[in-house]
A and B are shown apart, each in its own frame.
Chain A
Amino acid sequence: MNQTSAIIEIRDLSYAVGGRTIFDKFDMDVARGRVTAVMGPSGTGKTTLLRLITRQVRADSGSIRVAGAELGALTHAEIFALRRRMGMLFQNGALLTDLSVFENVAFPLREHTRLDERLIRNLVLTKLQAVGLRGAAELGTAELSGGMARRVALARAIVMDPEILIYDEPFVGLDPISKGVVLRLIRRLNDALGLTSILVSHDVHEIASVADAVFLLSGGKVVAHGTPQELQSFPSEVVKQFVGGLADGPVPFHYPAPDYYGQLLARDGAP
């Protein structure tokens, strides 16, 4: 991958929590203007990676450069300034429950700008139109379905015209129609707004239809990367198990346990 076209560059990233190593000398590049997917088994640290990229947590060692800025060297104010250039879609939408749909999308504008009310109204309605929910502007968050809430959160994430858009498990809990809507929006918004999109998911089929590049994580490292088509035929048992959805393989079916027959036949109290 051409290094100069990478908007996020991660080198030798190491991060551990509670004695458990999540990332171990981890390297990754996210290409500018593309949809990059990060996949892996549950518990691999995909969401942790997002939190490291957005500096919600600090890496133990290594370098993360976002849009040319080294995250470890930024002050609090600089981190906040960088985050204004990013948008993030949380797994459950994370809408502010005391605000209406309109006010949720307007929230970043009200907090960061001094725009005229009419201009805010037009911007909000434009973004809601982009996600197909302009008619729902006056609804409360409790009246939205899961898919609608996620689309409102997406409108909110793009209202400040970010350069990078991050999706944390955007397909979880959605019906097929809603999934199709979100997929269409991810692709359209990325291309129409010239964004860089990072998608964390383990929905292999959905990723295959929308991602330009895929990184498969396992054991704190990248075990495979390439286009979705390249991953389908990647010569690795880990990749084959994940992509094929196989119940047993390098990631075992059985949680570590003592000998089965020995445990069944043991007397009470015997080990």
Chain B
Amino acid sequence: MSDSLVRLGDIVGFLGRIMLQVPRALLRFQLIVDQVYNAGALSLVIVMLSGLFVGMVLGLQGFELLQRFGSEQALGTAAAIGLVKELGPVVTALLFAGRAGTALAAELGLMRATDQLSAMEMMAVDPIRRVVAPRFLGGVIAMPLLAAIFSMIGIYGAQLVGVQIMKVDAGSFWSQMRASVHLIDLNEGIVKSCVFGVACSLIAVYEGYHAAPTAEGVGAATTRTVVTSAVIVLFLDYLITAFFL
């Protein structure tokens, strides 16, 4: 338990080191754009596919549940709120940790193992500024965008099942959603996805940067990235949900 707390402290300290380098890292904007592509664009397929299937399941389950109370016309509201406030940010964060987080951790771990980071220090280039900060910022920028896309595709999936298959009235589906989903709900989703983006990116770059320079070390770093990210995301999810309520 105390080991975990110490590590958590290390991670927060690492965030401080990264934030000190962010202003200078922003001057090399192309590096950040490249990392937004690596973390975001390359995760699009899995996020969109998952969003579609999660939305479709939400449509099915939501319809079945609401039908018990005769409220199946509220499916649009239920799906939208469920996706925008919870499933969008959380599932996207878990997918992000699994796809982009592990890629980040493995890349940095391999750079550590092949002395690339030491070589950079020897060339008087701060690896935190040149390598870590752009990857961190790329993840932070990409996560909320991916979560928004997930929610959007999810609503489409819910509509596909609810309206096209289960024959919920399309007008009710969309108008009730418009009436019942408020800005505060969207804000909660946006705040969550931004916070999760910081958490997942930070954990990934931390584990990769501090990986032991061996094959086992890199493997352990990627595993820890996923596990730690999942636990932290779910914990933060509870905190933010409670805060908004």
Q: Which residues of A contact B (CB under 8 A)?
A: 54, 56, 80-81, 83-84, 86, 88, 90-92, 94-97, 107-108, 111-112, 153, 156
Contacts and interface: CB of A to CB of B under 8 A. Distances in A.
A153 B111 CA distance: 15
A56 B130 contact: no
A88 B122 contact: yes
Interface of B is mostly: helix
Interface string B20-43: 000000000000000000000000
A88 B123 CA distance: 8
A186 to B, nearest CB: 18
B116 A94 contact: yes
A97 B106 CA distance: 13
Interface of B: 110-111, 114-116, 118-126, 130
Contacts of B114: 92, 94, 97
A54 B124 contact: no
Contact of B123 (A56, A83, A97): A83
A56 B118 CA distance: 8
Given A97-B114, A111-B124, 8 more contacts: A54-B122, A80-B126, A83-B122, A83-B123, A88-B119, A90-B122, A107-B123, A111-B123
A17 to B, nearest CB: 15
B24 to A, nearest CB: 11
18 contacts: A56-B121, A56-B122, A83-B122, A83-B123, A84-B123, A88-B119, A92-B114, A92-B115, A94-B116, A94-B119, A95-B116, A96-B119, A97-B114, A97-B116, A108-B125, A111-B123, A111-B124, A112-B124
A86 B115 contact: no
Contacts of A80: 124, 126
A144 B114 CA distance: 15
Contacts of B125: 107-108, 111-112
Contacts of B116: 94-97
A84 B111 CA distance: 21
A131 B49 CA distance: 50
B115 A108 contact: no
B186 to A, nearest CB: 37
Nearest to B126: A80
A65 to B, nearest CB: 19
B70 to A, nearest CB: 58
A57 to B, nearest CB: 11
Nearest to A82: B124
A94 B118 contact: yes
Nearest to A168: B115
Nearest to A85: B124
Most chain A beta-carbon neighbours within 10 Å: one of B114, B116, B118, B122: B122
B121 A108 contact: no
Nearest to B117: A94
Closest 7 CB pairs of A and B: A94-B119, A94-B115, A80-B124, A83-B124, A88-B122, A84-B124, A90-B115
A56 B122 CA distance: 8
Nearest to B38: A98
Contacts of A108: 123, 125
B122 A91 contact: no
Contacts of B124: 80-81, 83-84, 111-112
Nearest to A166: B122
A111 B130 contact: yes
B119 A90 contact: yes
A88 B116 CA distance: 12
Contacts of B111: 96-97
Contacts of A86: 122
A185 B130 CA distance: 30
A22 to B, nearest CB: 18
A86 B122 CA distance: 8
A252 B121 CA distance: 37
A125 B110 CA distance: 29
Most chain B beta-carbon neighbours within 10 Å: one of A81, A88, A91: A88
A80 B120 CA distance: 11
Nearest to A51: B118
Contacts of B119: 88, 90, 94, 96, 153
A67 to B, nearest CB: 14
A185 B122 CA distance: 21
